[in-house]
Amino acid sequence: MALDICVKVAVGAPDVLGDCPFSQRVLLTLEEKKLPYKTHLINVSDKPQWFLDISPEGKVPVVKLDGKWVADSDVIVGLLEEKYPEPSLKTPPEFASVGSKIFGAFVTFLKSKDANDGSEKALVDELEALENHLKTHSGPFVAGEKITAVDLSLAPKLYHLEVALGHYKNWSVPESLTSVRNYAKALFSRESFENTKAKKEIVVAGWESKVNA
């Protein structure tokens, strides 16, 4: 039986998957575990009442598990791992926080209006930390040969970083960070990623209000 999941709809396109990286993380988990699912696209700026009834905070993603709607991608991914342990996507605890500060640093840099505020360097520092991890551990993924939850969390964030910074700042991951670039390529080329990613123009549109705030 297919699992019901509510995810963000694209801005201005009612039938198209939106650009929420947390929604994509859960979709990637479902794809990698080969679990059938049915997506319900939610307009987050005009939420339908039935959705607010199941998700009072109005947040996506939410997934129906054992008859209950569950919010928060961290919680959902943990529950999916417990309920459907094969194939395992469990990340060894020592690797669970690798890359965890990249997304915050990316958002700060994207919104920055001052080239000298240190936000670009802060992002590069986080990417260099990921580079060092990938160089000093056998890959291609964070925890080794197999993809795990930490990779599925990072993949959408690195995609947003690439698309949004490329568009709004004409910026890309430094050439010197070859391991990070290869890692992103490996993630983006997976079938699960192709099946769940938002189109580039939708990612760009999704960040517009943040950039121009």
Q: What is the pLDDT of residues 108-141, one digit of tens each?
A: 999 999 999 999 999 999 999 999 999 999 999 9
Coil, helix or strand for 67? coil
What is the Cα–Cα distance from 109 to 115, expressed in whole angstroms?
9
The segments of the chain whose pLDDT lies below 50 read none
3-class DSSP string for 143-181: CECCCCHHHHHHHHHHHHHHHHHHHHHCCCCCCCCHHHH
Phi, psi angle pair for 80, to nearest 5°: -60, -40
What's the DSSP call for residue 54?
H
Strand-strand pairing, 3-10 and 37-42: parallel
Q: Is the peptide bond before 87 cis (omega within 30 degrees of 0)?
A: yes
Let me know: does 164 contact 110? Beta carbons within 8 Å: yes
* Annotated binding-site positions: 8, 19, 47, 60, 73, 160, 207, 210
88 found inside a domain: no
Residue for token pair 């490329």: 166
User: The pTM is what?
Assistant: 0.96
Give all strands (DSSP E) within 32-125, no chain letters: 37-42, 62-65, 68-71
What's the total number of domains in the chain? 2
* Annotated binding-site positions for glutathione: 8, 19, 47, 60, 73, 160, 207
Residue at 212: amino acid letter: N
154 found inside a domain: yes
Q: 88 is written with which tokens?
A: 């395992």
Backbone CA torsion sign across 133, 199, 37, 65: positive
Strand-strand pairing, 62-65 and 68-71: antiparallel
* Annotated binding-site positions for L-ascorbate: 8, 19, 210
Identify whether residues 145 and 78 lie together within a single domain.
Answer: no
41 found inside a domain: yes
What was the pLDDT predicted at 208? 95
Identify whether residues 66 and 153 lie together within a single domain.
Answer: no
Domain boundary among 83, 117, 133: 83
Identify whether residues 134 and 59 lie together within a single domain.
Answer: no
Domain extent at residue 50:
3-83
What was the pLDDT predicted at 189? 98
Q: Where are the alpha helices (DSSP H) in 170-190?
A: 178-188
Coil, helix or strand for 141? strand
Please confirm, yes or no, whether 6 is among the known catalytic residues.
Answer: no
* Active-site residue identified among 17, 20, 27, 70: 20
Residue for token pair 């947040």: 59
